[in-house]
Amino acid sequence: MKRILSLFCLGLNVLLLFIAFFNDKVSIPSWMSFVGRTHPMVLHIPIGLAIGLLFFYFLKSKIEKTSFDLILENLLLILSFFAVLSAFAGLVLSFENGYEAATLQNHKYTGVILSILLYALYEFRNFFFSNPLKSKISIFASIGLMLAVGHLGGNITHGEDFLFGPKKEVEANTVFEKFVNSILDKKCKSCHNSQKAKGKLDMSTIEKIKIGGKNGKLWVGGDTLNSHLLKRAYLDLEDKKHMPPKGKPQLTEIELNVLKNWIKEGANYETKLSDIKPNSFFYTLKGETKSENVKVYNFSAVSEGQLEKYNSPFCTIAPIASGSPALKVNFFVSSKFDPKTLQDLSNLSEQIVSLNLSKMPVDDGVFSEIAKFKNLEYLNLNQTNITGKGIEQLKSCKNLEGLALANTKLNFGELKKVLSMPSLKKVFLWETHFNPAQQAELKKSKMDIEFGYVPDESEILKLNAPILVNESSVLDKNAKVQFKHSLQNVEIRYTLDGSVPDSSKSLIYKEPLSIKNYGQVSVLATKEGWLASNVKNYYFFKSDIKAKTAQLNLPADPKYVGNGNETLIDGKQGDPINFKDKNWLGFRENNFEGEFVFEKPTKINGLTLSYAEKTDAYIMPPVSVDIWVKIGGKPFEHFKKIDVPQLTKLTISGTKGLDVKIDKENIEALKIVASPLKKLPNWHPGKGDKGWLFVDEVFFY
């Protein structure tokens, strides 16, 4: 058995030499990629055995010679066996792209030499271990070479001088370094560094991060929908394009939220922690930058059990820093705001020091509730309906330092009632419509008044795109589409036919728009002296008729089952980035086949099938849609078939709709069959593979 194992090691070492020196003439079959990826696991075994050999040698004087020689022989053979296996797996792995050539070559050759040396120690052990001097030289030379191989391997995986280089401490004084780069360090840079640039992506420096990889830049500032990093992170874990890859430490929900909000806020690498604005996602996080800066409070902390009673998806309450009794409160989604929640928070009035009500539907009546929070230090009322009447009640908040009142109809006289507060240090008044004389008067106060950025007259800046006011793209029966812009005197131009709006000729938005059933609205913002904004496309759905029940005749893919049948008629749209969202049903092997039953025989003018389009994730429009109707108690009859135009290039992801005219009376039930694309076209990176069809809703009108 030993002889067979020895010959195996000899044969594999010969093969190692051949592959190492003639690798440009060698092709590794794809099925062997699994062997290569065992390298990080197998390499630890010879390291452990080498350390065991060292300790075993120093126990030589306490072991009978015959036993020592037998154990040494077996230990050297096993060490040689696992060393050659590790080296062979590493050579196979080296054929994958993304490694820096020079470092890889050094690691490869030293690994082969180490494997051959360990095999020689076994075969010629009687020579190498014939006296104490030769034994020590052999063992320490092997361990020294193993350290060198490990050092070079560490450089590939973790960056240059990983093993022997000093730990680099970089003071995080920017939002990127503190919150974003720390995530990239932990979850991305082991595969994307100067020595191992998978996908030609090197994250070792900010300059290289900005360049991106073979798929382009990692993110688009202000555009989470089209940022490559987020697209990859939100793919299914089983998808080969998901990042980090399966088996590697995954991004947590908190880390994803940090990355998403940093991109949403412009992906600015230079923003300092000290410059974070109160309306930023990172404002309440920056208190955790250094523990020694965390303020000490003399009130008691609230138990986790108590906090759980108040936390919800639309209101979060959490400590401002680890171990601090002080709490920060953030409200989300204006349509879900419940005034009672704010009233109930008075039970935590002693502990709450930060309150964010930005964009919530509150008016001047809110001041009486806020006045109950006696230890409040920061208050955000940006983009609310306040005018300032009753604002003087905030004087009971003796510790109030920051007050954000941007984009409100704040009355100048009412504001002056609180400017005398001794504690108040900074007030944010962007877009508050104060005239130059009023602004000048406010600037004379001792506190820091922030009116936002005022561009130089010679500068030509680009406008942000119009903001959609509607919380959902699914409209109620009489609901209309509303847009706004954060700047004054901005014209919003729009089209309803799918064409690109023109900055001078397209219709001007003056009042909310009516959508009949399904439609696309394309908008851009224009203003004299400014560059027009980018065009944004929105898709809206309206339903006058609700089916009583929905039934899937063929099952969705097990990974994308949504909320079952209810997914089709619950009026909830799926997230166009996250296809794990429970509002999506995914089909690949099966057609989508759904039956819809109505409360009574009904006239149906048409229907809209809401589906997803995300070409880089193989999610495509349906190939065709068949409609069947049931009338007068008879079996289903085929009504019409629609062939859906197919895509000819990669597109921006989003939710789309297929509008089908029906115009038929007394329909008792209706059946829809939609076919996923069976074979991706030649222009697609996944050509030949099956496409996905994702459906989230069927609307009737």
* Residue 119 amino acid letter: Y
The pLDDT, as a whole number, for residue 202 is 84
Give the model confidence (pLDDT) of 538-587 as tens digits: 999 988 899 999 999 999 999 999 999 999 999 888 887 778 888 999 99
How far, in Å, CA of 104 to CA of 664, rounded?
69
The pLDDT, as a whole number, for residue 155 is 66
How far, in Å, CA of 698 to CA of 550, rounded?
10
Residue 432's closest CA among 417, 456, 457, 413?
A: 413
Find the angle CA(664)-CA(670)-CA(672) to the nearest 5 degrees: 115
- Binned at pLDDT 50, 70 and 90, residue 25 comes out as low
| Region 413-435 average pLDDT | 90
Burial label for 171, CB within 10 Å (0-12, 13-18, 19+), is exposed
Q: Which residue has the higher pLDDT, 438 or 109?
A: 438
Q: Which residue has the higher pLDDT, 177 or 288?
A: 177
| Region 372-378 average pLDDT | 95
Instruction: Beginning with the edge strand found earlier in the chain, give each strand of the sheet holding 474-475 in spatial order.
Output: 474-475, 536-542, 518-526, 491-495, 507-508
- Binned at pLDDT 50, 70 and 90, residue 192 comes out as confident
Q: How far are the Cα atoms of 203, 591, 651, 657 from residue 647, in angstroms, in the given order?
A: 34, 19, 8, 14
The pLDDT, as a whole number, for residue 168 is 45
The pLDDT, as a whole number, for residue 585 is 96
| Region 463-476 average pLDDT | 88
Report the share of the chain in percent with pLDDT over 70.
90
Instruction: Name 447's Cβ contacts closer than 8 Å, sequence gap at least 6.
Output: 419, 424, 425, 426, 427
Q: What is the SS3 assignment for 340-404?
A: HHHHHHHHHCCCEEEEECCCCCCCCCHHHHHCCCCCCCEEECCCCCCCCCCHHHHHHCCCCCEEE
- Binned at pLDDT 50, 70 and 90, residue 289 comes out as very low
How far, in Å, CA of 365 to CA of 391, rounded?
9
How far, in Å, CA of 210 to CA of 260, rounded?
17
| Region 407-412 average pLDDT | 92
The pLDDT, as a whole number, for residue 34 is 67
Backbone torsions φ then ψ of 35, nearest 5 degrees: -60, -45
Residue 17, Cα to own-chain centre: how many angstroms?
Answer: 44
Q: Which residue has the higher pLDDT, 364 or 486?
A: 364
- Binned at pLDDT 50, 70 and 90, residue 292 comes out as very low
Give the model confidence (pLDDT) of 605-658 as tens digits: 999 999 999 888 899 999 999 999 999 999 999 999 999 999 998 887 789 999
The pLDDT, as a whole number, for residue 153 is 73
How far, in Å, CA of 338 to CA of 357, rounded?
12
Residue 327's closest CA among 359, 295, 292, 358?
A: 295
Which residue has tokens 């055995």? Answer: 49
The pLDDT, as a whole number, for residue 251 is 82
Q: Which residue has the higher pLDDT, 455 or 696?
A: 696
| Region 347-351 average pLDDT | 93
- Binned at pLDDT 50, 70 and 90, residue 76 comes out as confident
Instruction: Name 375's Cβ contacts closer than 8 Å, sequence gap at least 6.
Output: 297, 299, 326, 349, 350, 351, 352, 353, 397, 399
Tell if the pTM clears 0.75, that is, is over it.
Answer: no
Long-range contacts of 493-496 (CB under 8 A, 24+ apart): 493/523, 493/524, 493/525, 493/526, 494/521, 494/522, 494/523, 494/524, 495/521, 495/522, 496/520, 496/521
**Average pLDDT value for the chain:** 85
Residue 14 per-residue DSSP state: H
Judge whether residue 287 has pLDDT over 60. Answer: no
| Region 676-695 average pLDDT | 93
Q: What is 63-111 written as a DSSP string? A: S-HHHHHHHHHHHHHHHHHHHHHHHHHHHHHTTSS---HHHHHHHHHHH
Judge whether residue 82 has pLDDT over 80. Answer: yes
How far, in Å, CA of 592 to CA of 418, rounded?
61
Report the share of the chain in percent with pLDDT over 90.
39
Judge whether residue 162 has pLDDT over 50. Answer: no
Q: Which residue has the higher pLDDT, 456 or 561?
A: 561
Q: Which residue has the higher pLDDT, 166 or 608?
A: 608
How far, in Å, CA of 386 to CA of 364, rounded?
5
